[in-house]
Amino acid sequence: MFRILFHEPRIAGNTGAAIRLAAVTGAELHLVEPLGFDLEESKLRRAGLDYHDLAVMTVHADLDAAMDALLPAHVYAFTARGEQRYTDVAYEPGDVLLFGAEPTGLPPEVLADPRVTARVRLPMLPGRRSMNLANTASVAVFEAWRQHDFAMPEGG
């Protein structure tokens, strides 16, 4: 299945929503430290509801540790400044969908990382800064999964 990678997330509720997203789609959730919250925070638990036990989640000390664990794979960095639309990517199981922290997004050094396959964007109206992190991850995961006719992951 697909892997969601949040680079230094700051808002517990968004990560909680991503836990729920991972649980209902079979995607894996990977978090790069430092996190802007404690994993025991009530907002995280509330947003994830009772899905924590159904989701695969891994916390990595830094981006290099995450990449070591996830590669080889395509890595798609989601950014408002992406060169191609997210719907123009032919996703494959195991691909990494990389998202930046709220409210800053991915830092320039991550966007320029040679391990990033492509920088992709979701279309938005002009003058809008960005979408909510959990919403963006949901749109991306469901597009990748849709391309595979919503195939069930092993054990799913």
CB of 82 closer than 8 Å to CB of 136: no
User: pLDDT tens across 39-90, in order?
Assistant: 876 666 665 556 777 889 999 999 999 999 999 999 999 999 899 999 999 9
Share of the chain above pLDDT 90, in %: 75
Residue 47 is predicted with a pLDDT of 55
pTM, 2 dp? 0.93
Mean pLDDT for the stretch of residues 91-95: 97
Encoded tokens for 22: 């991972």
Sequence ranges of the domains in the chain: 3-146
**CATH number 3.40.50.150 is the correct assignment for the domain at 3-146:** no
pLDDT tens, position by position, 26-40: 999 999 999 998 887
